[in-house]
Structure 1
């Protein structure tokens, strides 16, 4: 009962918010609606009614009379910002004979608040049957329909509303006197971090102290690899960089029986899937695309579960001591990889 009340409460609040914003637009004389409004209503009613409504304007621009149609012919729906009696009569008057034959029921859906009563006398063209009390809907009617749904269906409605309400509210924003809306699409993009990368001298000195001298060509290769790593990290979304940093933090000891890759960082894939409460495949796909990880699921069963290999660079000299350098300098992986700050190198 708690879950049901929670779903219903959020659905009602979200739909009321949309209706109120449309009412404000109506009072300002802004009655034009974006195509997304029709798409939103189609998806909402599909969740509530189990229909397969699609926008008719996709197939035929400015479809007379109706905006949405059910593929099984159950409903033909006109979506309007304000449903006055005159608007309803006009909608019914523009129905074609084909529409009247195709759809069992014609509905006018009011995005704002519908009137308390209507005067829409028949008869209507092509023998259309229309009940002004039952066939004019608004979001309040949809909320009532949702009340009696089984819990799994109600959860589906809740998920759809929650996922699409913000976009709907943005579409309904009223522009200022310069025609600029409060929410700018450009501002929705994540800002990429600045390129922060050292010249490689500090890392080269650290490497040579531990291993052997690098000749000029090897130093140039390492410096270029460091720059390329920084570029790849900048191209990743922040959450993906943080996912990568955590893979490195949770790295496992190398198993010489199966890890033939020099200085690779690896983890068992199944552990990653269990421990990360997000879309592992999506994150790994982004990292594989940039050439920063590889997923190996083809090993023989006797060698254990599939693994994720983190290979940040093809430059062996950089890969060999990268994590050790970070730790030696008192840095941390989240700062270097997550925040793309390679300036200490």
Structure 2
């Protein structure tokens, strides 16, 4: 059973890490906080303080002095990474026209706040009854409040932090001198594979040995394989693996490759098999053959290049791999045809 201590420990660790990251940015004179961070802390504060804050910048691109507000509770927050008295004074001054709507305002500083705020102007604090000890918060103050939350709200906050904090940390990253960020979308994108293909002559020579009467030229073979490779490259790697599996496990009738729909469901438990089949169908690597009789299973037809120069390209290709003991996965998944030589 997950305990309060587990939830609290995880939340403290993650929010403290965010605060340290904000502090590192501030050390580089980077004080801007984007909309995503405002929304994250809006959700945190709503859970911790039981508010219904909304992002006030939804109504205006930049609400003067205030970022979050709950009109029912008449409470508003400024979210900032700047901890100086000047920042507090500016917030109070800009928020003054909204004192009727939000008579109570807090400033949440995402780094450690100052020990005292003697530079705050009484003329600005008066309308809000702003108390520097009560209304200036930092992450430490929020964490203290979290310690006394009931278990259901602790779990709710833990779920939020677990789900969103990785994105928050990404948003706070600082680019290096070349403008690149530590977390880059490229890290999450599968690279387009680069094929190794230089065995057309050897493949065509094999065809001639198997069938001296073939009229398929080496140039025609090259065109077929160029099409084959181009369409394979358009597929994700996992889809090429699924295609290789289908070719390997297919039933061969003459020169036709098929696999029973029912059989496929039983031998493969891949969770997104339907998605893989759709991708393969888009590239004409497979197609559905409906059953002619009620007691027969529909089948998936499997091929390589539609309208190829060789009518039996799929069978010839698979036979060549078998005779030369070449890995189907190496060719179809890695697009490495170097063993054709």
Match of 1:335, SS state, is: helix
Distance 1:106 1:307 in 2: 67
Give the drift of 1:198. 3.4
Distance 1:305 1:88 in 2: 74
Distance 1:342 1:275 in 2: 27
**Structure 1 match to 2:37:** 37
**Structure 2 match to 1:112:** 111
Give the greater-gyration-radius structure (CA): 2
Match of 1:336, SS state, is: helix
Gaps of 5+ in 2: none
CA distance 1:231–1:8, change in 2 (3 Å): farther
Match of 1:216, SS state, is: coil
C-alpha distance after superposition, 1:227-280 (max 9, x if no partner): 1232233344xxx31343145336644499xxxx9424676675688444xx66
Match of 2:305, SS state, is: coil
**Structure 2 match to 1:329:** 324
- Written as runs of structure 1 = structure 2, the 5 A alignment for 1:47-62 is 55-57=55-57, 60-62=60-62
CA distance 1:186–1:249, change in 2 (3 Å): closer
Contact residue 51 and residue 73 of structure 2 kept, 8 A: no
**Structure 1 match to 2:163:** 160
- Written as runs of structure 1 = structure 2, the 5 A alignment for 1:189-204 is 190-198=190-198, 200-204=200-204
Contact residue 267 and residue 308 of structure 1 kept, 8 A: yes
Contact residue 11 and residue 158 of structure 2 kept, 8 A: no
Distance 1:305 1:158 in 2: 49
Q: TM-score, normalised by structure 1?
A: 0.68
C-alpha distance after superposition, 1:105-164 (max 9, x if no partner): 644332222345556687869965656555544444555538644375255224313542
Distance 2:314 2:57 in 1: 55
Give the drift of 1:320. 2.8
CA distance 1:30–1:274, change in 2 (3 Å): same
**Structure 1 match to 2:305:** 313
CA distance 1:204–1:297, change in 2 (3 Å): closer
Distance 1:115 1:192 in 2: 51
How many residue pairs get matched?
A: 329
CA distance 1:297–1:291, change in 2 (3 Å): closer
**Structure 1 match to 2:79:** 79
Distance 2:274 2:129 in 1: 51
